[in-house]
Amino acid sequence: MKKIEAVIKPFKLDEVKDALQDIGVQGMTVLEAKGYGRQKGHSELYRGAEYVIDFLPKIKIEVVVADDLAPAVVETIQNAARTGKIGDGKIFITPLEDVIRIRTGETGAQAI
């Protein structure tokens, strides 16, 4: 199993969610996040004073899938979240040792 974490622009969430549902992903966790990468935030003007916003709003999506579905999930997220502009986000893929469904005690792929 793989845990796929994607940090994307907030307005892309619905597109990514719909695209993942279309390929059979049954569940995901979504977190509101703030951060910056190479873009280093941006400057804004407020009441005549310029200030720097270091942390930009982002959305973090976490999905756990079987090993064979992971490449399709990564490609789907890339295609749905891409705008072609700086700050589109990142995808992190990590191996997952086990999953346990609390309600039934099922483990592994049955618990996903």
Question: Nearest 5°: CA angle at 73, between 32 and 104?
Answer: 75
Which residue spans within the chain are E strands per DSSP?
2-8, 29-35, 42-46, 49-53, 56-65, 89-95
Q: Quickly state the pLDDT bin for 39 (edges 50, 70, 90).
A: low
Q: What's the pLDDT at 41?
A: 61
pLDDT of 4 higher than 90: yes
Q: What's the pLDDT at 54?
A: 75
Question: Each residue of 41-100: pLDDT tens digit?
Answer: 666 666 777 667 778 889 999 999 999 999 999 999 999 999 998 889 999 999 999 999
